[in-house]
Structure 1
Amino acid sequence: MAGVYRQLAVDLATPPPAPLATLFPAPVDDIRLEIGFGGGEHLIHEASAAPATGFIGVEPFIEAMAKAVAAIDLAGLTNIRLHDGDAADLLDWLPPASLARVDLLYPDPWPKRRHWKRRFVNPDNLDRIARALAPGALFRFASDIDTYVDWTLRHLAARPDFVWTAERADDWRKPWAGWPGTRYEAKAYREGRTPAYLVFRKR
């Protein structure tokens, strides 16, 4: 699988190609990023459902990355590229306004208050996401941890460059259209926690 990963890996040591869509061997209409994709179930589902879209997935854990690489290879998908390091580094590497969507799904909640500063949703990373998103593009966040949902809402509400798209309660209580579910979501339901699904639009 190491050879397959090398073919899929984004090389941050070189400048991003112009246009960024040439990361992919076949033409793509837009590009989406998934941060912390776990075993890759959602990433692979999305890439299979939208072959004209390019996907970049970030996952620092070796076992999860290996599982995803094997599944991508088995599915024969050519519209996925991968990064096994820090998502912040990848966001810094991307050209401005180059992404149509960023997904942050069930990130590590760092539930203890003294660890909240480690949460991925923070002012610096939101600056990075805002820079990489095109105007009108979406930032999607899902979590089953109430404190992290509240934290995310507060951080995004304080920013003039994002607007929360929810118009009614079901907009954050129900999964998004086409949502395949994830193993983290299944675990949340088993343990009696109800996830929230937030969508923010870049102004």
Structure 2
Amino acid sequence: MFARGAGPGAVRRDAAVLFVDLVDSTALAHRLELGDYAELMSEMLQILYLGLEAHGGTVLQHQGDALVAQYDIARLEACLRSAQDCHRRIASLSAAERLGERLTLRVGVACGQILSLTLGGQPTGYGRPFNLSRRLCTIAAPGETLVCADTYQLSPDLPATARPRSRRSRDFPLPVRPTRI
């Protein structure tokens, strides 16, 4: 099914979108020698790409130290496992250990309808889950994964200790109710 106004190949579908970002990467870039920083970022991105894709995600893009991946909504549980896996994997990077650095991530996950298409030969997507996952990532504490209310409702296997909390986000008219997992 083509999405109206989006051109051939554009498809509307329900998906989970994961946004992952390295905490304090700017300070890290200033602290490390350029070659060391590039080695660290290369290893980190490679590990994250492989981990996200191993759980069935499609990495759409990376910018600097951030990655965006999408998962078919039927793979929501795998998306949430990959979010937790990102935190675990980042803690054991050999380049970080060699440089005496401890890396920490923030992760946001949001579900909803997206528009998937290919631009310039690269897969991309549009829709509220992309914006919301980024906002959730931004307000997450270091080492934390936040999920939106829809994700929480669609995930019966989330820990019983997860509790929704209300937060305002400048880009969303209603309070965002993220849940920490």
TM-score scaled by length of structure 1: 0.28
Q: Higher strand proportion, which one?
A: 2
Q: Larger relative contact order (C-alpha < 8 A, sep ≥ 6)?
A: 2
Q: So what's the TM-score if we normalise by structure 2?
A: 0.30
